[in-house]
Structure 1
Amino acid sequence: MTGRRGFGAVVGAGLASAVLAAVAGRQPWAHGSAPGGLGELSATVEAGKVPAAGALSLVVLACWGVLLVTRGVVRRVVAVVGVLASLGLALAVVVGHSTAPDRVRDAYRELGVDRPDVSLSGWYWVAVVATLLTLVTTVAAVRLVPTWPEMGRKYDAPVDSASPSTGQPPGERDNLDLWKAMDEGRDPTA
């Protein structure tokens, strides 16, 4: 996929995977239950979360937003930042595989439960899939971004804010100059 056809597919998949990673990053990746019918204790839910994953997935999501409104070298740099954030997210997922269950066990021990039954939740596996997708799409963006369409320059800010007819900044023109410009058929706000 190259050019405009690849643009929609890669950006759509990138946005979807970043949103999915952000949702999964806010959920507990490990949960446990205490023997004796106590079940999951609410004090242990926060221990199963990996906040770095949620933060890094939001960085990836922000990169996709910036990619849509920039051009040229800036666009390519933002795509590289997206790859780096995706790699950080992948590292958080790998580290979270062991640290999230360990933190849940520690939380149960603080509550006096010696041998809790701790396992990874489904959100961990959602995060794994979403992370792989974010990594693939951001790498594809780095490669394909030069061929993607760019936003037009129609709404860019003017380079020089001085009036083309008078050479004065807009704040220094008086009302008479504005009326003269309109009489001549020029836009006085341009």
Structure 2
Amino acid sequence: MAEARRTFGPVLLLGLASGTLAAVAGAQPWVSGSSGTVDTSSASAAAIDMSGVRESPLAAALALVVLACWGVILVTRGSVRRAVAGLAAVVALGLLVTTVLAFWSLQEALQDALFAASGVDTAEVSLTGWYAAALIGAVGSVAATLAAVRLTPSWPEMGTRYDAPTNEVVAAEPEGNLELWKALDEGHDPTEAPRPLD
């Protein structure tokens, strides 16, 4: 049990680092290429509409959902925490599938866009380092979220002292001068009638 509790920090750090890496990489170009005089790395490529053929907005969005789930896992307890960990694992698997499928789909989409822009029927297309970073982030997210599903019951939880108060505490009516001054120091109005508890 104590060893399982010690996994909280490492798994959380792996999950946050992997999710952040996948989110950042998902907003960057995953493929580059050239066809004839058109090159995606040149300034002239900015005039050509290649939106949606070099990046994977879905992967970036899924990575952000995984990060949001980690935030919820930090502040919840019990079955809610485990349910959110399960949701994070499903989303992380979706992120991994999206990233793997992009290996073929983005290269083909960029190749078609280069053919249309250049009028040439040959093109050279390759993956960028951002794709590798996104893949590493997706794999790390899957590993961390699956570990969270298994280990959350043994992880430490926030104490109930951080919960919102359920009943308002009514200060006792002070008696004598010393109690009046103490009540004033504590921010209570000694002349105010006590309110009944809800």
TM-score range, shorter chain: 0.7 to 0.9
**Structure 1 residues 145, 114: closer, same or farther in 2, change over 3 A?**
same
CA distance in 1, matches of 2:82, 2:9: 17
The code of the aligned residue for 1:179 comes to D
Which 4+ residue blocks in structure 1 deviate beyond 4 angstroms? 162-165, 181-184
- Kindly state the Cα deviation for residue 126 of structure 1 after the two structures are TM-superposed: 1.3
Q: Deviations over 1:63-98 (max 9, x none)?
A: 111111111111001000100010110110121111
Maintained 8 Å contact 2:35/2:115? no
2:180 corresponds to 1:179: no
* Counterpart position of 2:164: 157
CA distance in 2, matches of 1:100, 1:21: 17
Structure 2's unaligned 5+ residue stretches are 172-187
CA distance in 2, matches of 1:8, 1:124: 27
CA distance in 2, matches of 1:61, 1:128: 16
Q: Deviations over 1:31-81 (max 9, x none)?
A: 111235x43223365321111100000111111111111111110010001
Maintained 8 Å contact 1:3/1:149? no
TM-score in terms of structure 1 length: 0.81
**Structure 1 residues 4, 181: closer, same or farther in 2, change over 3 A?**
farther
* Counterpart position of 2:112: 106
CA distance in 2, matches of 1:183, 1:152: 33
* Counterpart position of 2:25: 24
Q: Deviations over 1:140-171 (max 9, x none)?
A: 000000111111211311234x6668xxxxxx
Structure 1's unaligned 5+ residue stretches are 166-177, 185-190
Give the secondary structure class of the aligned counterpart of 1:154.
helix
* Counterpart position of 1:80: 86
TM-score in terms of structure 2 length: 0.78
Maintained 8 Å contact 1:35/1:117? no
Maintained 8 Å contact 2:85/2:148? yes
Q: Kindly, what percent of the aligned residue pairs are identical?
A: 44
- Kindly state the Cα deviation for residue 115 of structure 1 after the two structures are TM-superposed: 1.4
Maintained 8 Å contact 1:21/1:54? yes
**Structure 1 residues 4, 183: closer, same or farther in 2, change over 3 A?**
farther
CA distance in 2, matches of 1:34, 1:109: 7
For the pair shown, which has the larger CA radius of gyration, 1 or 2? 2
2:111 corresponds to 1:115: no
Count of paired positions: 173
2:60 corresponds to 1:54: yes
- Kindly state the Cα deviation for residue 181 of structure 1 after the two structures are TM-superposed: 8.2
- Kindly state the Cα deviation for residue 134 of structure 1 after the two structures are TM-superposed: 0.6
CA RMSD after TM alignment: 2.7
- Kindly state the Cα deviation for residue 3 of structure 1 after the two structures are TM-superposed: 3.0
CA distance in 2, matches of 1:182, 1:148: 46
**Structure 1 residues 113, 2: closer, same or farther in 2, change over 3 A?**
farther
